[in-house]
Structures are given as C-alpha cells and as structure tokens.
Amino acid sequence: MKIEALALGLALLIAAPAQAADAAALAADHGCLNCHGVRSHPHEAPLLKDLAARLGRRSDVDAAARHGLEELREKDSVHAHRMTSDESALAILRWMAQGAKMR
C-alpha cells in the first residue's frame, strides 16, 4: 500500500464519523438520496423529510425500520430497493426514523 493511502486511511479512522453520518453515507452510497432527495424527488419518490417524518411517528425506532423495510420490499419495481440488503436498508431506515440528520 502506498504511504499516502495509508495516511488517508488512518486520517479517516481517526476522524471516525458519528453513527448518523455513517447512515447518511450509507443512504447516499445506496442511491436512496438520488430519488428520495432533500428538495427534488424524481420518479415520484417521497422526499427524505416526508419519509423520515412518517417513520418517525412510530415510537419504536426498530419497529419503524422494520415497517419501512416491508414497504421497501413491496415497492420492488425500484432497482435500488431490490439491490439493498435487509441489513443496509434497516440501518438507513433506522436513521430516517430518527430524523435523517446529515451529521
């Protein structure tokens, strides 16, 4: 490994982001935010804030995430929905249920 790559890796490790930031990155990596955007919602996808508000209405974050996962699996015409593992989806949905904070 090149020394610069090693240094960058260490820097990233040291600056380990909070859990919320991890989930935000996960949502971005899985393309969720491309459709469930902050301001625009192509393909009639519900906006992130609306998804978050709806999931957040449930008092139990884990139950909200599981419910979100069921909805996500029902909407299986969306490629990104099909491509996401249960594990990743639950992490993202839990983040959404907690208000989808970017950091």
User: Residue numbers of the site for ligand HEC (CB under 6 A)?
Assistant: 30-32, 34-36, 43-46, 51, 68, 71-72, 75, 78, 80-81, 84, 89, 92-93
Instruction: Please name the amino acid found at residue 28.
Output: A
Q: How far apart are CA 21 and CA 51, in angstroms?
A: 18
Encoding tokens for residue 77?
Answer: 């015409």
Provide the minimum distance between the beta carbon of 18 and ligand HEC in the complex, in angstroms, as a whole number. Answer: 19
Measured from the CB atom, the residue of 24 and 68 that comes closer to ligand HEC is 68
Q: How far apart are CA 42 and CA 97, in angstroms?
A: 22
Provide the minimum distance between the beta carbon of 37 and ligand HEC in the complex, in angstroms, as a whole number. Answer: 10
Measured from the CB atom, the residue of 7 and 75 that comes closer to ligand HEC is 75
Q: Three-state DSSP class for 45?
A: coil
- The torsion angle over the Cα atoms of residues 92, 96, 98 and 103, rounded to 10 degrees, is 80
Measured from the CB atom, the residue of 24 and 51 that comes closer to ligand HEC is 51
Q: How far apart are CA 98 and CA 56, in angstroms?
A: 6
Provide the minimum distance between the beta carbon of 95 and ligand HEC in the complex, in angstroms, as a whole number. Answer: 9
Measured from the CB atom, the residue of 46 and 56 that comes closer to ligand HEC is 46
